[in-house]
Structure 1
Amino acid sequence: MGGMWTGERVRLRGVEPEDWEGFRDLAHNTHDVRNADMVEPPRSAEGFRSWTAERAARPPGGEAFRLVIEVLADGAFAGSVTVGETDSRAGRFRTGIEVARAHRRRGYAAEATELVLTYMFAEQRHHKCEVEVYAFNDASLALYRRLGFVEEGRLRQHEFFAGAHHDVVLLGITAAEYWATHPRPSVR
């Protein structure tokens, strides 16, 4: 991996089979999982091993992919970032991020998201990135707003979990908005 995948604090890399414990640890805290996705029944260690091995065997890139966030200082698994729901005709894609509790509040999520945005805007010719965030997830809403995402709408009572319906906030950033505050990658 070169400079495009490495920031000041983290590096994005492909999923490796030995990352299964990091993904298992991300799934342990129901509150954390609920902030990003739906709570699923517990998975066995073997289930995590096979799930991670399958992702590690996938070819890089494509319409949807997941990368591990690795801490530069010590090589620790800090979380993952995903790209999905790509629409090459319209030039849109979606992204999401999970950071382990022990690695939060250190700028890793912001830096990993910026690395993905740079790649998707500069190398994949996408025009816009969209995210969906549960309205109660104040930390993620603040992160994306700090990065320049703009609230585009709210899906009222859109998802059901924890015994109630919850709103989903839609945010987006265009390539032009991103490049207005971030340097383009160098060809040298």
Structure 2
Amino acid sequence: MHRADPRAGVFEYGVTIGAGHRREGDAAEAVVMLLRYMFDERRFHKCEARVFAHNEASLAFQGRLGFVEEGRLGDHVFHGGRHHHLVPLGMLGREFAPGHRE
């Protein structure tokens, strides 16, 4: 978790998985645990994430978790010697999939 504003009820998270450990379910398990805690225990209202627009795997991952795109920010981040579009995503606590709350 990068930032949490208890007054507004909004928090942001990000996840990085090493290349040799991707597609094993660890990231999804960790994120679902965090979302359960923040939505169910801490009663936060919204979770936000930001993903480079070219990172299709991460965008798909966020979508499987229930996040929705909230726009696109053109050339918003300078990284690796060039500018990149950034995709802000969000999920409200009430949208957090009931199947993840077990």
TM-score (norm 2): 0.91
Amino-acid identity (%): 50
Counterpart amino acid of residue 151 in structure 1: E
2:74–2:84 Cα contact (<8 Å) kept: yes
Counting only pairs closer than 5 Å after superposition, residues 1-188 of structure 1 correspond to structure 2 as: 83-183=1-101
The equivalent residue for 1:11 is none
Is the radius of gyration larger for structure 1 or structure 2?
1
* In 1: Cα distance, 2:25 partner to 2:33 partner: 12
Superposed displacement of residue 183, structure 1: 2.4
- In the comparison of the two structures, how many residue pairs are matched? 102
Counterpart amino acid of residue 67 in structure 2: F
Secondary structure at the residue paired with 1:169?
Answer: strand
Structure 1: gaps of 5 or more residues: 1-82
Superposed displacement of residue 156, structure 1: 0.9
Deviations 1:104-134 (A, max 9, x none): 1111111111010001111111011000001
Counterpart amino acid of residue 129 in structure 1: C
Counterpart amino acid of residue 96 in structure 2: Y
The equivalent residue for 1:42 is none
* In 1: Cα distance, 2:3 partner to 2:100 partner: 24
The equivalent residue for 1:57 is none
Secondary structure at the residue paired with 2:42?
Answer: coil
* In 1: Cα distance, 2:21 partner to 2:79 partner: 26
Secondary structure at the residue paired with 1:166?
Answer: strand
* In 1: Cα distance, 2:3 partner to 2:30 partner: 18
What do you get for the CA RMSD once the two structures are aligned?
1.3
TM-score (norm 1): 0.51
Secondary structure at the residue paired with 1:131?
Answer: strand
